[in-house]
Amino acid sequence: MADEQTTAEPWTIGRLLTWTTDFLRGKGADSPRLDAEVLLAHARGCQRIELYTAFDEEPSESVRTTFRELVSRRATGTPVAYLVGQREFFSLSFEVTPDVLIPRPETEQLVIRALDLVKEVDSAETLRIADVGTGSGVVAICLATHLKNCLVTAIEISPTALAVAQRNARKHGVAERIDFLTGDLLEALPAEEQFSIVVSNPPYVSSTEMAELARDVSEHEPHLALDGGEQGTQVIERLIAQAPKYLCSEGWLLLEVGSSNANRVEELISQNPSLELHETLKDIAGLSRVVQAKRK
């Protein structure tokens, strides 16, 4: 790497990983070893696990050049997912670009809860699910993949983000069971549409929290998908107001929220006469993550 031209010691895969881990740690990366492995595997065109059986191999000059460029961009804050163009979510690989939010593990709880709710419904009819603010399409696509008797409507205000979601749906073979709509929350829907479940990972970062975001998030991920206004509930308030009109009787609304505004979201639901608040689900860190409501 930096002293590559001045040392006689060969730049093996093992040495590249060790040097890059230390380098990225010095640049403040949260997971420098993982970052180094993902970037080198991408440059080498292999699975990350394959690196472990090739520590003594000397990669070609072209691989080292590609790797060096990726590491340089990572050091200046570009997220690894954008550098390699993909991110795993719910055991599936999804294309991600700077037009979409990078999927987080916490959002998998939305998928799990929706799957559990469908299991509780004893119906031979095709169930309808809406994913509001679909982004890269991870939630909609995972639900369509695991629920063969469901039709999903994926709504996104950003046309460029929706294009990413459509490519991901085609990649996973579920495009024919997802209706993609460009629009602002549920306003894109015909008035007669009804859903058994409406799920959403809306913008919920407050103005204060936006100013405190890590550099790789604040400078690279789309603020449209993050910024929830002063209290972080600006978009959520509108969605809660719209949802009852589009929910079937006893249909469910599932909202991913931040731990700092979960109580506020619960209050907003309690104030809506058409919705009944249910227990808020916590993530693996014990933080409030998914607020649940059922149409009365």
> Which pair of tokens denotes residue 292?
């649940």
Q: What is the 3-state secondary structure (H, E, C) of 201-264?
A: CCCCECHHHHCCCCHHHHCCCCHHHCECCCCCCHHHHHHHHHHHHHEEEEEEEEEECCCCCHHH
Residues of each annotated binding site for S-adenosyl-L-methionine: 133-137, 156, 201
Binding-site annotation: residue ranges for substrate: 201-204
Binding-site residues, please? 133-137, 156, 201-204
Dihedral sign for Cα 248, 252, 256, 257, please: positive
d(CA 19, CA 23): 6
Question: How many Å apart are CA 227 and CA 230, to the nearest integer?
Answer: 9
Closest residue by Cα to residue 123 from 192, 198, 196: 196
Using a 10 angstrom Cβ sphere, with 0-12 exposed, 13-18 middle and 19 or more buried, the burial of residue 76 is exposed
